[in-house]
Amino acid sequence: MGFIWALDVALLRRQRATAAAAAGEGAEPPREPALVEFSRSFFPVVLAVLLIRSFLYEPFRIPSSSMMPTLRVGDFIFVSKFSYGLRLPVLNTEILALGRPQRGDVTVFRLPSDPGTNYIKRVVGTPGDVVSMRNKQLMINGEPVPLEFTGEALEVECGGFWFDARVAYETLGGDRHMVFLGEQRDRASPFLDRPVPQGQYLVMGDNRDCSRDGRIIGYIPAENLVGRAVRIWMNWDAEAGGPLWHRIGDRIE
């Protein structure tokens, strides 16, 4: 579309002007081709969308229950691409450092073993942190992360199966969010109880017993980070037969 517009400016428009001059006064000027007119009208819009998606905000859809109750299947979210620095599209080269993930951030990243697949989880460990789990409670550098159980228990879906989960509030990085904690034993992992390597991060889902996260996939390199999830812009719940209006516009914490 942009190529067609540029070709018209550089060559075709001049040819039309020459043809109009040759036809003499009173002749009807040649019309701009429909394809050129279409390209001229829509190319700025397409360019603006591409720039916004590449450098500012990109929409994503939540495909699984691993981040419940913070995010649920059917949520459509905006991800801030510039929160962790501006990167060139395709090349993924950082051109401007603007910030780094903090504990508690909900972040989208490219799966290290399959960069074409995007995951969304919560950052629980930054470079140098030693993250552990003891009886469902996160420990960071030997200090327990504040965890308050509400006394509420729910049946939670996990890949077609259901399990009983306790509802709790966790305070990480100064922000308070809800988590689901099942009755299963703490998941063993070679990526816990050791320092997170420099330039990498450890992530977990809020639905702790139904999440393929850093305990399985390992640490996330900084260059795999896409951005920080900031807001729900739409929700479509297939089981409810439509959107859950109360979720639209919610800030992601």
Instruction: Given the residues 83, 121, 136, 211, select the one marked as catalytic.
Output: 121
Note the pLDDT of residue 36: 52
Cα 6 → chain centroid: 34
Do the Cβ atoms of 125 and 147 come closer than 8 Å? no
Map out the domains of the chain with their CATH numbers.
Answer: 2-52 (no CATH), 63-247 (2.10.109.10)
pLDDT at 166 over 50: yes
Q: Catalytic: 136? A: no
Q: Is 66 a catalytic residue?
A: yes
Residue 96 has pLDDT above 90, yes or no: no
Per-residue 3-state assignment (H helix, E strand, C coil) for the chain: CHHHHHHHHHHHHHHHHHHHHHHCCCCCCCCCCHHHHHHHHHHHHHHHHHHHHHHHEEEEECCCCCCCCCCCCCEEEEEECCCCCEECCCCCCEEECCCCCCCCCEEEEEECCEEEEEEEEEEEECCCCEEEEECCEEEECCEECCEEEEEEEEEEEECCEEEEEEEEEEEECCEEEEEEEECCCCCCCCCCCCECCCCEEEEECCECCCCCCHHHHCCEEHHHEEEEEEEEEEECECCCCECCHHHCCCECC
- Over the stretch 4-40, which tens digit does the pLDDT of each residue have? 545 444 555 555 555 445 555 554 555 665 555 655 5
Mean pLDDT of 219-224: 95
Strands 137-140 and 200-204: unpaired
pTM for this entry: 0.79
Residue 115 clears pLDDT 80, i.e. is over it: yes
Convert the pLDDT of each residue in 39-78 to its tens digit: 556 555 555 555 555 556 899 999 899 999 999 999 999 9
Q: Which is catalytic among the residues 66, 80, 83, 211?
A: 66
Q: Give me the pLDDT at residue 5, please.
A: 45
Q: Using alpha carbons, select from 83, 117, 112 the residue that is nearest to residue 231.
A: 83
Q: Considering the chain, what is the average pLDDT of its residues?
A: 83
